[in-house]
Chain A
Amino acid sequence: MNMGSQLMLDMLYYMSLAREMENRIERKLYRQGKILGGVYVGRGQEAIAVGSCIQLEPEDCVCPSHRDMGAYLIRGFSPHTIFAQYLGRKTGPARGKDGNLHMGDMGKRTVAFVSMLADTVPVAVGIGMAYKMRGQKNVVLCYFGEGSTSRGDWHEGLNMASVQKVPVVYICNNNQYAYSTPLDKQMAVASVADRAQAYGMPGVSVDGNDVIAIYEATRSAIARARAGEGPSLIECRTFRMTGHSAHDDASYVPKEQFEEWEKKDPLRRLEARLLQDKAASEEELKQLGARISREVDEALALAEADPYPEPLETLQGVYADWTMEAPLAFAGQFFAQEDR
């Protein structure tokens, strides 16, 4: 495909930024004990969110999953607020109420997923229904891993999406492991894309480490959705170049698999393509790396200096019309406010 070099450079920027941020998060901040709780990164899978999200219009919607850092960056979540989120700071999009990529902002048309993966699959149907009811030509990109395709919500959602003919593109990060469970223990079909047939929608399988292939496949599916022809499923075959989460050393993954997939690294592939097309020089790529490193340093410094939320923040925001006093009263007011 004859892809503009600026677009490829933009994609490289987001993929590299996602990787650098996640390297800091997983390999530094988590190990330093600065980030507590679960840390799930998308190392090796950066092409998927970036190659698909980058072509959205502002009014389109995204339902990312936990390895889709690039989706958040493209939708306008700043590295500063993302770090603040991981660090449990007040300035994170969840204001300390939730951690890691569990964040969203409907102003940025980005839905916060929950840990019960595949829950956003039917939620995306409803967003698509809203577009249809309002006569808008927008689309929803909904992401999940191959493990999510074993859940009932996934199947209910795909079925309803197809019956309702909603403008949703379902994108699977098939990284071959759901925590420690390999593909052949997750499903008896050869490919996630095969599942699409059961729901009467097109299903394609693409190289999940080739950002250009992902861009292309998503572009066709988005065009179909905007034309009112209904949902599609795209399986992006990739590999999780890390454990399930930061505490997991992935000792159950054969070493050879890591070595094999290391050679297919999506960032290095895109860089090679840019060099080959003479769209960028070695020097320019080096400068990009330095720029990202600086950007990440600055964002992290800002986030680390940000305050934690006040403990009483715990009681706020459960309902639109409840003041802080209301949940206290409902709980029986065991503690007078001055005791806290």
Chain B
Amino acid sequence: MAAVTYLEAIRQGIWEEMERDPEVFILGEDIGVYGGAFRVTAGMLEHFGERRVIDTPISESAIVGAAIGAALMGMRPIAEMQFADFISCAFDQITNFAAKCRYRWGAGVPIVIRGPSGGGVHGGPFHSQNPEMYFVHTPGLKVVAPCTPYDAKGLIKSAIRDDDPVIYFEHKFLYRRIKEELPVEDFLVPIGKADIKRKGSDLSIISYGAMVHQALEAASTLAQEEISVKVVDLRTLVPMDKECILESVKKTSKVILLHEDTRTGGIGGELAAIISEEAFEYLDGPIMRITAPDTPVPFSPPLEEFFLPKASDIVRIARQLAAY
């Protein structure tokens, strides 16, 4: 069985769900004839036809609005944002309409809004953002951000089957950089469950998305120095797997919160609050954050390199924390 890329895993997940359930369809900009800016939907128009693979005008708000309307009728639309950055154009439909329907009038809105997020590809300020926290802050939405092909496929399938709106961030840096062999049979990764990507006993690094790979690289380096690092991949930001987070912190007593999103208002602050409220007695050192700085994502290579957290930053902070 050949290994598949992260991108191909997402494509397979969508494909299989469209085969399984005739109510699933996709809409977005350039997803049909062109197969999507990153080719996630390549071949789908030819296979599923233009009724279920819908090229739309450049209208993110109407794309999401239309997805909501179809979902209210019991369909299962998947709306693509060509870049996650453009999700801001649909912010109102997502946060005011989709997120609040169930609470206000009991109407489920089973939509998936997916798109490529994150930096590392010299995309500049408008093709590199990590907009997850706007949505993490909105009750009624679920937010997922996988970092491996297995999780990407399992989570897109779970997102499509979920009865509530799910925002699915796929990290574009990972699209073709990582490969993995996937099971032949149908499988799901549950929304709301974190995953231990590496076992360790001295400190925990809690992260998600592309940063998990930086954490794993740092953990390998640190292992040579006899520092044993546990890497927790959140996979889902809402609902949060608090149990896994607290269990990890209680075992290692030291924790680094790592994300590519900017610092202020990032998930790290929320995690730090949860940990200090519920695992304070177990801590043997300060809760450390490693994040992007509070700036837009810059374009020029030395600037973007500086902006993105990297394994060397993690190694440095982890050494300090281990010695604390």
Answer whether residue B251 sits at the interface, using C-beta atoms and an 8 A cutoff: no
Stretch at the interface among B37-45, B102-110, B179-187: B102-110
Determine whether the beta carbon of B163 is less than 8 Å from that of A320: yes
Contacts of B100 in A (CB 8 A): 114
Determine whether the beta carbon of B73 is less than 8 Å from that of A329: no
Determine whether the beta carbon of A122 is less than 8 Å from that of B61: yes
Determine whether the beta carbon of A322 is less than 8 Å from that of B239: yes
Determine whether the beta carbon of B72 is less than 8 Å from that of A106: yes
Determine whether the beta carbon of B51 is less than 8 Å from that of A132: yes
Determine whether the beta carbon of B65 is less than 8 Å from that of A321: no
Determine whether the beta carbon of B273 is less than 8 Å from that of A105: no
Contacts of A124 in B (CB 8 A): 69
Answer whether residue B71 sits at the interface, using C-beta atoms and an 8 A cutoff: yes
Binary per-residue interface labels of chain A (92-115) against chain B in the complex, 1 for a CB within 8 Å, 0 otherwise: 011101100011111000011011
Which of A120, A127, A322 contacts B70, CB < 8 Å? A127
Determine whether the beta carbon of A123 is less than 8 Å from that of B73: no
Given known contacts A133-B25, A153-B65, A160-B66, A105 and B93 CB-to-CB distance under 8 angstroms: no
Contacts of B68 in A (CB 8 A): 122-123, 126
Contacts of B63 in A (CB 8 A): 122
C-alpha gap A318/B139 in the complex (Å):
7
Which of A103, A120, A156, A332 contacts B61, CB < 8 Å? A156
Determine whether the beta carbon of B105 is less than 8 Å from that of A126: no
Answer whether residue A37 sits at the interface, using C-beta atoms and an 8 A cutoff: no
Answer whether residue B97 sits at the interface, using C-beta atoms and an 8 A cutoff: yes
C-alpha gap A122/B70 in the complex (Å):
10
C-alpha gap A26/B38 in the complex (Å):
54
Which of B96, B97, B103, B108 contacts A97, CB < 8 Å? B103
CB distance from A98 to the nearest CB of B (A): 5
Name A122's closest neighbour in chain B (CB-CB). B65
Contacts of A319 in B (CB 8 A): 102, 140, 142, 164, 239
Answer whether residue B4 sits at the interface, using C-beta atoms and an 8 A cutoff: no
List which B45-75 residues lie within 8 A (CB) of chain A. Answer: 51-52, 54, 56-57, 59, 61-75
Answer whether residue B305 sits at the interface, using C-beta atoms and an 8 A cutoff: no
Answer whether residue A121 sits at the interface, using C-beta atoms and an 8 A cutoff: yes
Name B51's closest neighbour in chain A (CB-CB). A133
Determine whether the beta carbon of A94 is less than 8 Å from that of B104: yes
Contacts of A102 in B (CB 8 A): 104-105
C-alpha gap A159/B72 in the complex (Å):
21
Answer whether residue A307 sits at the interface, using C-beta atoms and an 8 A cutoff: no
Given known contacts A114-B96, A126-B77, A332-B277, A153 and B104 CB-to-CB distance under 8 angstroms: no
Determine whether the beta carbon of B75 is less than 8 Å from that of A130: yes
C-alpha gap A61/B68 in the complex (Å):
14
Given known contacts A153-B93, A319-B140, A332-B274, A126 and B67 CB-to-CB distance under 8 angstroms: yes
Contacts of B273 in A (CB 8 A): 332
Answer whether residue B242 sits at the interface, using C-beta atoms and an 8 A cutoff: yes
Determine whether the beta carbon of A160 is less than 8 Å from that of B103: no
Which of A98, A132, A164 contacts B104, CB < 8 Å? A98
Determine whether the beta carbon of B51 is less than 8 Å from that of A112: no
Answer whether residue B292 sits at the interface, using C-beta atoms and an 8 A cutoff: no
Which of B51, B65, B142 contacts A119, CB < 8 Å? B65
Given known contacts A125-B62, A127-B72, A156-B57, A112 and B239 CB-to-CB distance under 8 angstroms: no
Which residues of B are at the interface with A, using a C-beta cutoff of 8 A?
Answer: 25, 51-52, 54, 56-57, 59, 61-75, 77, 92-93, 96-97, 100-108, 139-140, 142, 162-164, 239-240, 242, 273-274, 277-278
Besides A126-B67, A160-B62, A164-B54, 18 more A-B contacts (Cβ < 8 Å) are A97-B104, A106-B107, A115-B96, A119-B96, A122-B59, A122-B62, A122-B63, A126-B68, A126-B77, A129-B66, A129-B70, A156-B65, A157-B62, A319-B140, A319-B239, A320-B164, A332-B274, A332-B278
27 contacting pairs across A/B (C-beta < 8 A): A104-B107, A111-B69, A111-B107, A112-B101, A112-B104, A114-B97, A115-B96, A116-B92, A119-B65, A119-B93, A119-B96, A121-B65, A122-B63, A122-B68, A125-B69, A131-B73, A133-B25, A153-B92, A153-B93, A156-B57, A160-B59, A320-B102, A320-B163, A321-B163, A321-B164, A332-B274, A332-B277
